[in-house]
């Protein structure tokens, strides 16, 4: 009876300690991934802007398609002519 009470108490205490740790870790991972995505977009904008100024054409089909989408978006927004 006392052992069951101690098991339940220790189990509850560990759960209460673990929830904030797990939640905090998940929140930190989410924030890190959002910042990494933002940084990737900034780098892509810099590279594509330089390629646009130098009239560079990408050889990779994936990069070429991404570059064309970026130029259409920038022209539509009025950021480039």
Full-model pTM: 0.57
Contact 58, 67 (CB under 8 A): yes
Residues 20-32 pLDDT 10s: 888 888 899 889 9
Overall number of domains in the chain: 1
Helix (H) / strand (E) containing 53: helix 2-53
Residue 23 domain boundaries = 2-77
At 31 the pLDDT is 92
> What is the average pLDDT across 62-66?
90
Whole-number Å distance between alpha carbons of 36 and 30 = 10
Give the HSE-up count for residue 49: Cα atoms under 13 Å, Cβ half-sphere: 9
């Amino acid at each position: 009876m006392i052992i069951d009470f101690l098991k339940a108490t220790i189990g509850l205490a560990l759960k209460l300690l673990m929830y904030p740790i797990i939640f905090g870790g998940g929140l930190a991972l989410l924030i890190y991934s959002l910042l990494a995505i933002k940084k990737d977009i900034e780098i892509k904008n810099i590279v594509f802007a330089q390629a646009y100024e130098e009239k560079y054409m990408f050889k990779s089909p994936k990069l070429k398609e991404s570059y064309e989408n970026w130029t259409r978006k920038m022209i539509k927004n009025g950021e480039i002519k």
